[in-house]
Structure 1
Amino acid sequence: MFKRLPGDEARNLVTTTPDTAVVFRPAVVTTPAIITIVILAWRLLAGLARTIWRHPIAITIASIPAVLTVMYGWRTALLLVTPAPVGLVAWALSDRSSFARWIGYRLLAWWRLIWVYRRHWQSVMVISGLGRHLRGRDYLPRLDKITCTSWADTVTVRMLDGQAVKDWTDRTDHLAHGFGSPSCRVTIAKAGRLTLAFPRRDPLATPIPVLPIPQQPTVGPVEIGKQEDGRPWRLKVHGTHVLVAGATGAGKGSIIWSTIRGLLPAVRAGLVEIWALDPKLMELSYGRALFGDRYAAAPEECADLLDQAVTVMQERAARFAGLQRSHTPTVEDPFVLVVVDEVAFLTAYQADRQLKQRISAALATLTTQGRAVGIGVMAALQDPRKEVMNIRNLFPDKIALRLDESEQVDMVLGDGARDRGALADHISPVPERGAGIGYVRLETSPDPVRVRAAYVSDTDIRAMVNQHEPDHPYPMTADDGRAA
Structure 2
Amino acid sequence: MFKKLPGDETQSLVSTTPDTAVVFRPAVVRTPAFVTLVIFAARLVAGLVRLVWRHPIASAVVAAPCAVAWWYGWRAGLVLVAVAVTVLALWCSLHRPSFLRWAGWRLLAFWRFLWVYRRHWQAVMVVSGLGRHLRGRDYLPHLVRVRCTSWADVVTVKMLHGQAVKDWADRLDHLAHGFGARSCRVSIARAGRLHLVFPRHDPLAVPLPAMPIPEQASVGPVCIGTREDGAPWLLNVHGTHVLVAGATGAGKGSVIWSTIRGLLPAVRADLVEIWALDPKRMELSFGRALFGDRYAATPAECADLLEAAVAVMQERADRFAGLQRSHTPTPEDPFVLVVVDEVAFLTAYQSDKSLKLRITAALATLTTQGRAVGVGVLAALQDPRKDVLNIRNLFPDKIALRLDESEQVDMVLGDGARDRGALADHISPVPQQGAGVGYVRLEASPEPIRVRAAYVSDADIRAMAEAVAA
Q: TM-score, normalised by structure 1?
A: 0.92
**CA shift for structure 1 position 14:** 10
**Which residue in 1 is equivalent to 2:91?**
91
For structure 1, the residue ranges without an aligned partner over 5 or more in a row are: 7-12, 471-484
CA distance in 2, matches of 1:362, 1:38: 75
In the alignment, the residues of structure 2 paired with residue 332 and residue 469 of structure 1 have an alpha-carbon distance, to the nearest angstrom, of 20
**Which ranges in structure 2 are unaligned for 5 or more consecutive residues?**
none
- Note the alpha carbon deviations across 1:32-71, whole angstroms, 9 max, x for none: 2221221111111111111111111111111111222222
Q: % of aligned pairs identical?
A: 75
Counterpart in the other structure of 2:184:
184
Is the CA contact (8 Å cut-off) linking 1:3 and 1:21 kept in structure 2? Answer: no
**What is the Cα deviation at residue 289 of structure 1?**
0.4
- Letter of the aligned partner of 1:104 in structure 2? G
**1:26 Cα deviation from its structure 2 partner:** 4.3
Pairwise mapping of residues 332-411 of structure 1 onto structure 2 (< 5 A)?
Answer: 332-411=332-411
Q: CA shift at 1:127, angstroms?
A: 1.6
**Aligned residue number for residue 175 of structure 2:** 175
The corresponding residue for 1:446 is 446
The match for 2:44 is: 44
Q: Partners in 2 of 1:431 and 1:80 — Cα distance?
A: 51
Q: 1:300, 1:164 → 2: CA distance?
A: 51
> Which amino acid letter does the alignment assign opposite residue 348 of structure 1?
A
In structure 1, the partner of 2:412 is 412
Q: Measure how far apart 1:378 and its partner are.
A: 0.2
Cα offset, 1:244, TM superposition? 0.4
Separation (CA, whole Å) in 2 of partners of 1:435 and 1:228 = 15
Q: For residues 384-409 of structure 1, give each alpha carbon's deviation from its aligned partner in whole angstroms, at most 9, with x where no partner exists.
A: 11111111010000000001111111
> Once the 2 structures are TM-superposed, how far is the Cα of residue 126 of structure 1 from its aligned partner?
1.5
Q: Which residue number in structure 1 is paired with residue 133 of structure 2?
A: 133
Measured at CA, do residues 26 and 135 of structure 1 come closer, stay the same or move farther in structure 2, by a change above 3 Å?
A: closer
How far does residue 134 in structure 1 lie from its aligned partner after superposition?
1.4
Structure 1 pair 424/3, CA: closer, same or farther in 2 (3 Å)? Answer: closer
Q: Deviations over 1:354-404 (max 9, x none)?
A: 011000000000000000000000000111111111110100000000011
Per the TM alignment, residue 464 of structure 1 is displaced from its structure 2 partner at its CA by: 1.2
Corresponding position of 1:108: 108
The whole-number CA distance in structure 2 between the counterparts of 1:444 and 1:212 is: 27
1:241 is aligned to 241
Counterpart residue identity of residue 220, structure 1: G
1:215 corresponds to which residue?
215
Code of the residue aligned with 1:130 in structure 2: it is: L
Letter in 2 for 1:356: K
Looking at structure 1, the residues matched to 81 and 141 of structure 2 have their Cα atoms a distance apart, in angstroms, of 40
- Per the TM alignment, residue 467 of structure 1 is displaced from its structure 2 partner at its CA by 1.6
Cα distance, 1:23 vs. partner? 6.8
Give me the TM-score of the superposition, normalised by structure 2.
Answer: 0.95
Deviations 1:154-196 (Å, cap 9, x if unpaired)? 0111111111111111111111111111111111111111111
Contact 1:4-1:23 at 8 Å conserved across structures: no
1 CA distance for matches of 2:278 and 2:421?
A: 33
Closer, same or farther: CA 347–24 of 1 in aligned 2, 3 Å:
closer
CA contact 1:5–1:23 (8 Å) conserved in 2: no
> 1:27: Cα distance to partner?
4.1
1:232-286 per-residue CA deviation (whole Å, 9 max, x = no partner) reads 0000000000000001100000000000000000011111100001011001010
Match of 2:271 in 1: 271
Letter in 2 for 1:330: T
* SS, match of residue 438 in structure 1: strand
Pairing 1:60–2:60 present: yes
Inter-CA distance 220–35: structure 2 relative to 1 (3 Å threshold) = same
Q: Shift in Å at residue 29 of structure 1?
A: 3.3
TM-aligned CA distance change 1:23 to 1:79, over 3 Å: closer
2:231 and 2:177 map into 1 onto residues whose CA distance is 27
Q: How many residues align?
A: 462
Change (3 A) 1:113 1:14: farther
Q: 1:331 to 1:35 in 2, by over 3 A?
A: same
Per the alignment, residue 482 of structure 1 pairs with none
Q: CA deviation at 1:4?
A: 11
Partner residue, 1:287? 287
Seen in structure 2, the aligned counterparts of structure 1 residues 38 and 312 have a Cα distance that, compared at 3 Å, is: same
Instruction: Supply the distance in 1 between the matched residues of 2:250 and 2:21 (Cα, whole angstroms).
Output: 75
Contact 1:245 1:380 survives alignment (8 Å): yes
Aligned to 1:429: 429
24 and 88 in structure 1: CA distance in 2 versus 1, 3 angstrom threshold = closer
In 1, the alpha carbon distance for the partners of 2:196 and 2:223 equals: 27
Quickly say closer, same or farther: Cα 1:463–1:22, change in 2 above 3 A.
closer
Map residues 63-78 of structure 1 onto 2, 5 A cutoff.
63-78=63-78
Give yes or no for contact 1:3–1:22 (8 Å, CA) kept in 2.
no
Which letter maps to 1:359? Answer: I
Aligned to 2:124: 124
97-106 vs 347-356, which moves further: 97-106
Q: In structure 1, what residue type is equivalent to 2:320?
A: F
Matched ranges for 1:452-467 at <5 A: 452-467=452-467
> For residues 117 and 245 of structure 1, what CA distance do their matches in structure 2 show?
36
When residues 22 and 381 of structure 1 are mapped into structure 2, their CA distance, relative to the original with a 3 A threshold, is closer
Alpha-carbon distance change, 21 to 202 in structure 1, aligned in 2, over 3 angstroms: closer
